[in-house]
Amino acid sequence: MKAIKGSLVGLLMVLASQVQAGTIRVVGQGQVSQVPDQVVVQLSVVKLADKAEQAKQQADAAVRNVLDAVAALDIPTENVGAADLRLSPKYNYQKRERVLLGMEASRQIRIVLSDASLLASLLDNVVSGGATQVQGVHWQFSQLAKLQHQARLEALKDAQAQAKELAAVLGAKLGDVETIDTQTQQAGVPMPRLRTAAAEMDSYQPASQNIEVQVLVEFELE
């Protein structure tokens, strides 16, 4: 019996020495909750004409009208962007035959609103101004990088606390950091329904959104 106990004690001493001479890897979690403060609206202007130049002129004119409609709401110019023109032939397929309908010109427009109460007025103005499609509306953070940084710090603190706890249980001391890997996740925010009435759009408020960061940290053990 004494021989068995002695063998177990010896085995534990060997394992402890291996742990102390090695490393430990832990996963830390960090989370920051915040309500998004910006609305992003993505539009498109599409015009079809017999000739490419005609389609281009019509698309450019429509984009100017849309931008004027946006400017009327005092939205800063740095929050509005219009993509380059795209031209392509437009076909209709009937009875396995390809029929040319004309040349299609399209441009994309992206608008960032810091005041969500302007959303309904913006949609009305841009559609009246010549926008062909409202492709999407979603919320975002103006200070996303800052929020991710906060979540990352929380994750690193969590990883360090876990590592210290495990090292103490193993009878070791925490040493220097060997490696750090990070992964950021952002929970989705429901999009406003584009067919919702204007009054409902004005009252729409986004829910708080979680920004989560996970870090895999490897520490030396002394």
State the CATH class of domain 38-140: alpha beta
In 3D, which of 209, 212, 184 has the Cα closest to residue 35?
209
Q: How much is the pLDDT for 16?
A: 42
pLDDT in tens, 57-104: 999 999 999 999 999 999 999 999 999 999 999 999 887 889 999 999
The residues spanned by each domain of the chain are: 22-35+144-221, 38-140
pLDDT in tens, 30-62: 999 999 999 999 999 999 999 999 999 999 999
Q: Could you give the 3-state DSSP secondary structure of residue 149?
A: helix
pLDDT in tens, 168-220: 988 888 989 999 998 887 655 545 444 443 444 455 667 888 999 999 999 99
Domains 22-35+144-221 and 38-140 share a fold: no
Q: How many Å apart are CA 215 and CA 116, to the nearest integer?
A: 34
Is the CATH number 3.30.110.170 carried by domain 22-35+144-221? yes
Laid out side by side, the sheet with 23-34 consists of: 23-34, 209-221, 174-186
Name the region of 28 (left: φ>0; alpha: ψ -120 to 50; beta: rest).
beta
In the chain, the N- to C-terminal Cα span, in Å, equals 33
